[in-house]
Amino acid sequence: MHLLIDNSNTRTKIALAKGASISEWRAVIPTPELSPETLTSALAGVTFDKVSVCSVVPKAAEMMETYFEVPLHQISHQSILPIKINYPRPEQIGADRLANTVAAVSKYGAPAIVIDFGTAVTFDVASAEGAYLGGAIAPGTASLRDYLHRQTALLPSIQLTEPTNAIGKSTEDAMQIGAVIGYRGLIREILKEIRKELGGNPAIIATGGDAALIASGLNEIRIIASDLTLEGIRQIGVTNHKN
């Protein structure tokens, strides 16, 4: 059994894989609460013989290196990858972005554009030859929503839902319009410029927490893959544990 860990800034998602299949078992730990104690609790009764970690939180990655007593691989640009990296400073590429690109090219072909709706929204681009080219980073939906609540005296905290109108009839409605409909404009414009520069007919894949909500109003996005990062972690982990 292969333990997969996707350690983002907000949440740490844990899954198990056997061979090429990712099991339905999942555990989620808020990343600020990630510790040996919370890992022990989450993994109670779970058996595995290797671990692959995709982390964008250096302190958490360091803690996991010493916590596990089975072989562990930390994904980075130095991992053995099934894709080439055509990027001036590969050490700057987040492990999650590599995992997403590997899974996207493997499952949907190349060229490809992956949009990951997380704490930040990231766009990652693979060429027609399957090489990682780079991408774009913008604030995530939660960042925009929470910023308005924290920085203003009268705007409330909201949970994102699909707006029913384009003219808000309450403060909450107005915020939903800005955070959902307005955000789709940001995604659409970045996608348009990337596609113009990339050329061809790329597969466009959305993943991450707000992927389904935002992509539902964007005809450009036809594929939603909730386990894309975990699948990339699995593929990279298998190769590197063998070596």
Active site residues: 96
Residue 42 Cα distances to 34, 135, 226, 233, angstroms: 10, 34, 21, 19
Please provide the DSSP assignment of 191-220 as one string: HHHHHHHH-S--EEEEEETTHHHHHTT-TT
Cis preceding-peptide flag for 111 (omega within 30 of 0): yes
Strand order in the sheet with 203-208: 132-139, 120-126, 112-117, 203-208, 223-224
Strands (E), the chain: 2-7, 11-18, 21-30, 50-55, 72-74, 112-117, 120-126, 132-139, 203-208, 223-224
